[in-house]
Amino acid sequence: MAWSVLLLLPTTALFVLLSRFSLFHPILWMSECLSLLTSASAIFSFILLCGVVLMVGFFNLEYYTVVPSIACSKIALLGQVLHPRQFVHSLVHCIMGVVVAWCCAFTIGGRYRSLGHPCTQDESSGPEMCLNEYHLVLLLAGAFIGYSHSLVGVVYNMNYVSFHTMQQYKYLRFKGALPLVVKASAVQALYCLRSFLLLYFFMGYAPRAWICKTLDLSINSSIHSLDSVSSLLDLSLLYHLWISGTFLLLTWYITVLLFRIFVTEVHITPLTPYNASIRPTAFLALQDLALLSQHSPSRRLEVFSLSQPGGHPHIWTALSKECLSLLSDLTERLVAHHDTVATNGRAKSQSTGSNKRSTTSSEGSGSYNALSLSLKNAAFRKCSDFVPYFITPQGALSPGFSSIQSPHVMRRGPKLWSASTGEGQPRGHTWLILPMDYFLTHCCLSLQLPEASSQALFADSQVHIWALQGLSHLVAASFSEDQYGIVQTTLPTILSTLLLLQEAVDRHFKLPHTSSKPGHCSCSMGDDSYKTLRFALRSTLKTAVYRITATFGGHLQ
Amino acid sequence: MCSLALFPPPLYSMNNVVCSLKPHSRQESSSKSAFRDHCETLYTRSAGAWRDAGLSGLLNEIANSSAEVPKWLGVSSSCVLALLRWVSSFHSSLFPHLTLSSEEMTAEFSQVLDWSDCAVRGFAWHPHTQKCAVALSDDSIKIYNPKSATTPTLKHRLQRSVAALQWKPLCASALAVACHNCLLVWHVDPTSLSTRPSSGCAQVLSHPGHSPVTSVAWSPNGPLLVSASPRDTALLVWDVAVESCVPLHRVGGGGVTYLSWSPDGSRVLAATPSSLFRVWETRMWTCERWPSLKGRCQSGCWSPDGSRLLFTVQGETVIYALTFTDNPGVPLMMSGGPKAATVVADLSETTLNTPDGDIMVGGEIQSLAWDPRGERLAVHVKGRPAMIAVFKTQISPAFKLLPCGFVQGEAGTEPRLMQFNPNYQHGAQLTVCWSNGKITHVPFCFMSAGNPQPGLGGSPSFPLTQGRPADYNNQTLYTELIS
């Protein structure tokens, strides 16, 4: 947040330079800009802008999510837009848009300077205050852009924070993303401006009349009103509107970008119990697991170690249990989804067949080491006694899940949205799902968005991806690093879970409503990686199975 | 460190021919000349020029058709064109390779010798099974699998001037192909009986400005793919499953020509067209610069444990080595890296006495290949005639290079491309693509353990290879101890 406030300074300076740009008087231009930047009023508006940026940052913090909300139908989307929480968001952004636009108007100066200006209507009545329509247009444009920012944020899930496969330093990530942000804000401002001008052309008289009435200003009849084609196509006006819109969006987008970068930073999670309350902690813990399993032999050693008195692999047991429960959870969800989609009884028989297969496979590979089996039983028995001391599903790895999105809620959410199941309860403590939508979804099945149910099913798959990566890397590393053979005990379970999931994912991709290739989204600033998470999951799953089988090779037979 | 003079003289012998491919005589140029001119409106022509050649093409078209356009438009477009040319000449005086056409650029920076008239433009062994993909000069790719009767042929509208291809590790079916202006990732189901997979099986990955793509490399343990283009200063890191990419920009170099991912996945070598190459560390994606070479880095290869990088420089006849201390998990930060490269072998031209008379061997180095066990190093030497010199290598306890022999084909043929088979059980197997379109396997049989013993280490024991006097086996070309 501090960084975005600091970055506001060069952005504002740039805005001042660009807004007063005049090609033919460079020296005058520069000196004017310098004097403006150092004046007291400029500092006041700068403080105002800082307040706005802090507000935007606060809203980012309040509204962001790591599991995107995916509306399965257009009605549901409408429901999201009209939700009270979202309404507050829009309203505040609207007001902040006006504030920024006022600062812009103030900075540009000239004819935009103030809302009223003295004029003489006719000789008899003397001077009175008239409405300065240029100022009004600028303010309204700010409000419109602020509102559309909030609206577009909902439609394109701008509050969704995604995690990148590649780790990069924060500065480099910011540097890489900055040109894109500038381009995105310029283009977005252009689109917003087009819509705004159309709106103003048709509806412009209403706010003008209202303002005149409330503030007791009169309309200068000697000047043409601005809602005509010729006056709206004034190049200088267009340029100033566009540059103000770009400035507004740029400052906000930079805040969003910095926020995303700082939130998704890798944290090293200790392999001991700890308390956490913020939302992405579970995500960060799993990300850390995936990374440690890949890059850090010393921390892997910690996972493979035995507890000091007792000699039990509690860390590994808790880790694998947590990951496997996540994965089997996903499998269940997929199978349930498939069952509801398939109308005949074929899905049922297939799932029983796969169950049979999994038991045979676990028997087949489980019997190769009697010692490991006995160890496994001992570990399971002892595990419950030592729960408070080590990583447990409730303790370290999933505090986020238990506090914010318990597995039950997560499982229920997509069912609700798939619109074909009858049951489901709205989540009381998040704004993502509304009771209203629940009814609306059932009313209007015909308005279903394609692929949305599939996207919703895999909305939180980033967790599963990391669980898969972490598990498979740990298992592969255990081939050479696991001195006590503790991984072997769970290897059959891991393999059968992975294969069951593989089967479920394969079947899901054969459903008619799921495309087999990731589509491309032209949306500028919204992160659309949640749309492609299922493809990432599929390829990670395949890679994980191959990694384990390629490492153990003939030993699995 | 010593020269090729220590090598046993080569003998001409036949290798086992795997498949023979006829070179195609098709010219790789625009098909525009094959059609008759016909009159189009200026607008149509401009739109076509804009689509084909961008802004400069459009300006050129307008400037050329001065009769049809208003005078001010013609004059201004020729002025802008002149300005553009002046700027681009300034730019390309900094980076001379930018004046090349795309085809020439691919030929220049490809690992294949004489890429443009070579029948085989790319070759890739599958990392886990006995399966290989061969890219031909008619822009098709064939997949050979000894276990199945079908040889799928991959063709795609965008698959033009294939410069490199590589199979995805830890996956049965994905093949990445570096094409003219995009990357293709084919998903060829190994159980499918189709001989002509549809272009729907291919993912197209393209990025503006990233053309021609001359090199691709998969991460050995992950879903990432890096691609390089000599025109694009950024190295692109693709997440193939979701088709998204992250460009990694760094100042200097003017492009990226060749990529090689170390087998342990921790580092990536990225060569540029100027005298500079970078070694990226893949944990946080920071890079080390290696400037002040004599020429550009032509080729490089990693030891199996990723701790040692061998590279060659264009215009020189020596092999350099860099050693990286292995500290995975810790960012590179210039501390784990070496301070200077050492010369480990000199392949300058020497004359060898053979029963058939003296022959010249040695010269500039085209490419390097290290077998997956780290016991054999094949060096593709450009000289006249081009040939492959094979070294025995030893990585631990100290890095050693010993002479092993030469690989030559039939009389009048040159090797164009080579790769080691990652799945050969009895030692190492080098696959060589020859200028006459033949692909041969050269097996090296040895016991993979520590010091090669003279009896066992005397490599190719198969009848198809060259006889090798035993007394050469113990002559060390280079060890870390004496250098």
Q: Do A518 and B286 touch (CB under 8 A)?
A: no
Residue A39, min C-alpha distance to chain B (Å): 39
Please check whether residue B128 lies inside any domain of the structure: no
What pLDDT is attached to residue A121?
58
User: Could you tell me if B432 and B420 are in contact, meaning their C-beta atoms sit under 8 angstroms apart?
Assistant: no
What pLDDT is attached to residue B168?
93
Which residues of chain B lie closer than 8 angstroms to A542, CB-CB?
170-171
Please check whether residue B87 lies inside any domain of the structure: yes
Which residues of chain B lie closer than 8 angstroms to A301, CB-CB?
none
Chain A residue nearest residue B200, CA to CA: A517
Structure tokens at B401: 């290079």
* C-alpha span between B39 and B140 (Å, rounded): 35
User: Coil, helix or strand for B266?
Assistant: coil
Give the CA distances from residue B422 to residues A269, B167, B198, B371, B426, in Å, rounded to whole numbers and listed in that order: 38, 12, 29, 7, 11
User: Could you tell me if A523 and A452 are in contact, meaning their C-beta atoms sit under 8 angstroms apart?
Assistant: no
CA torsion through residues A172, A174, A179, A184, sign: positive
CA torsion through residues B295, B300, B302, B303, sign: negative
Nearest by CB: A296 against B172, B284, B329: B329
- State the average pLDDT over residues B94-111: 83
User: Could you tell me if B370 and B302 are in contact, meaning their C-beta atoms sit under 8 angstroms apart?
Assistant: yes
Selected residue with higher pLDDT from B281 and A436: B281
Does B193 lie at the interface with A, CB-CB under 8 angstroms? Answer: no
Q: Do A532 and B242 touch (CB under 8 A)?
A: yes
Does B328 lie at the interface with A, CB-CB under 8 angstroms? Answer: yes
Which residues of chain B lie closer than 8 angstroms to A551, CB-CB?
none
Count of other CB atoms within 10 angstroms of residue B476:
16
Selected residue with higher pLDDT from B194 and B332: B194
What pLDDT is attached to residue B34?
56
What pLDDT is attached to residue B37?
56
Residue A272, min C-alpha distance to chain B (Å): 20
Does B244 lie at the interface with A, CB-CB under 8 angstroms? Answer: yes
Nearest by CB: B241 against A169, A299, A535: A535
* C-alpha span between A554 and A542 (Å, rounded): 19
Query: What values do phi and psi take at B145, rounded to 5?
Result: -140, 115
Q: Do A295 and B284 touch (CB under 8 A)?
A: no
Does the structure show a pLDDT above 90 at B302? Answer: yes
ipTM: 0.76
Q: Do B286 and A547 touch (CB under 8 A)?
A: no
- State the average pLDDT over residues B33-57: 68
Nearest by CB: A529 against B170, B242, B284: B242
Q: How many CB pairs under 8 A join A and B?
A: 75
- Taking the mean position of all CA atoms in its chain, how far away is CA A261? 12
Residue A296, min C-alpha distance to chain B (Å): 5
Give the CA distances from residue B143 to residues A424, A555, B133, B202, in Å, rounded to whole numbers and listed in that order: 50, 30, 4, 15
Residue whose structure tokens are 């602020």 = A146
Structure tokens at B398: 């100290």
Count of other CB atoms within 10 angstroms of residue A323:
27
Q: Which domain holds residue B74?
A: 38-100
Bridge partners of B394, per DSSP, are: B400
Does the structure show a pLDDT above 80 at B391? Answer: yes
Residue B264, min C-alpha distance to chain A (Å): 10
User: Coil, helix or strand for B142?
Assistant: strand
Please check whether residue B60 lies inside any domain of the structure: yes
Does the structure show a pLDDT above 90 at B216? Answer: yes
Residue A262, min C-alpha distance to chain B (Å): 15
Mean pLDDT across chain B? 79
Residue A111, min C-alpha distance to chain B (Å): 36
Q: Do B128 and A550 touch (CB under 8 A)?
A: yes
Q: What single-letter amino acid sits at B323?
A: T
Please check whether residue B66 lies inside any domain of the structure: yes
Q: How many residues does chain A have?
A: 557
B472 falls in which pLDDT band (50, 70, 90)?
very low
Q: Do A165 and B128 touch (CB under 8 A)?
A: no
Does B240 lie at the interface with A, CB-CB under 8 angstroms? Answer: yes
* C-alpha span between A278 and B12 (Å, rounded): 72
Nearest by CB: A543 against B170, B203, B284: B170
Instruction: List, in order, residues 6 or more apart from B114 with CB less than 8 Å away.
Output: B107, B416, B435
Q: Most A CBs within 10 Å: which of B187, B235, B239, as the mutation test of the A interface? A: B239
Average pLDDT of adjacent 10-residue blocks, chain A of 557 residues: 69 69 65 75 82 85 79 78 86 91 82 72 62 84 92 82 81 86 90 90 83 76 67 81 88 86 75 40 74 79 78 81 88 88 49 37 33 32 30 33 34 32 34 40 49 79 88 88 84 92 89 65 61 86 90 78
Instruction: Please state whether the predicted TM-score (pTM) of the whole model is above 0.80.
Output: no
Chain B residue nearest residue A292, CA to CA: B329
Please check whether residue B64 lies inside any domain of the structure: yes
Please check whether residue B250 lies inside any domain of the structure: no
What pLDDT is attached to residue A423?
33
pLDDT, one tens digit per residue, over B259-272 is 999 998 889 999 99
Q: Do B242 and A547 touch (CB under 8 A)?
A: no
Percentage of residues of chain B with pLDDT beyond 70: 80
- State the average pLDDT over residues B133-146: 91
Does the structure show a pLDDT above 70 at B209? Answer: yes
Selected residue with higher pLDDT from A287 and B335: A287
Task: Scan residues 40-79 of B and list those with Cβ closer than 8 Å to A.
Answer: none
Nearest by CB: B223 against A295, A297, A539: A539
What pLDDT is attached to residue B15?
42
Q: Do B171 and A535 touch (CB under 8 A)?
A: no
What pLDDT is attached to residue B175?
94
Nearest by CB: A536 against B221, B241, B246: B241
Nearest by CB: A176 against B243, B247, B283: B247
B133 falls in which pLDDT band (50, 70, 90)?
very high
pLDDT, one tens digit per residue, over A388-405 is 223 333 333 333 333 333
DSSP class of residue B452 equals P
- State the average pLDDT over residues B119-140: 91
Selected residue with higher pLDDT from B257 and A407: B257
B236 falls in which pLDDT band (50, 70, 90)?
very high
Which residues of chain A lie closer than 8 angstroms to B284, CB-CB?
167-169
Residue B341, min C-alpha distance to chain A (Å): 26
Which residues of chain B lie closer than 8 angstroms to A517, CB-CB?
203
Does B204 lie at the interface with A, CB-CB under 8 angstroms? Answer: no
Q: Do A535 and B242 touch (CB under 8 A)?
A: yes
Structure tokens at A396: 């370290």
Structure tokens at B458: 């005397």
Does B189 lie at the interface with A, CB-CB under 8 angstroms? Answer: no
Lowest pLDDT segment from A72-81, A532-541, B104-113, B135-144: A72-81
Chain B residue nearest residue A531, CA to CA: B242
* C-alpha span between B236 and B222 (Å, rounded): 15
The total number of structural domains that make up chain B: 1
Structure tokens at A557: 């037979």
Nearest by CB: A165 against B239, B249, B328: B239
What pLDDT is attached to residue B162?
92
Count of other CB atoms within 10 angstroms of residue A117:
15
Which residues of chain A lie closer than 8 angstroms to B286, CB-CB?
169, 172
Task: Scan residues 342-381 of B and list those with Cβ closer than 8 Å to A.
Answer: none
**Residue ranges of the alpha helices (H) in A109-169?**
133-155
Please check whether residue B96 lies inside any domain of the structure: yes
Please check whether residue B73 lies inside any domain of the structure: yes
Does the structure show a pLDDT above 90 at B80? Answer: no
Chain A residue nearest residue B241, CA to CA: A536
Residue B242, min C-alpha distance to chain A (Å): 5
User: Coil, helix or strand for B279?
Assistant: strand
* H, E, C per residue of A503-543: HHHHHHHCCCCCCCCCCCCCCCCCCCHHHHHHHHHHHHHHH
What pLDDT is attached to residue A19?
65
Structure tokens at A337: 């989804």
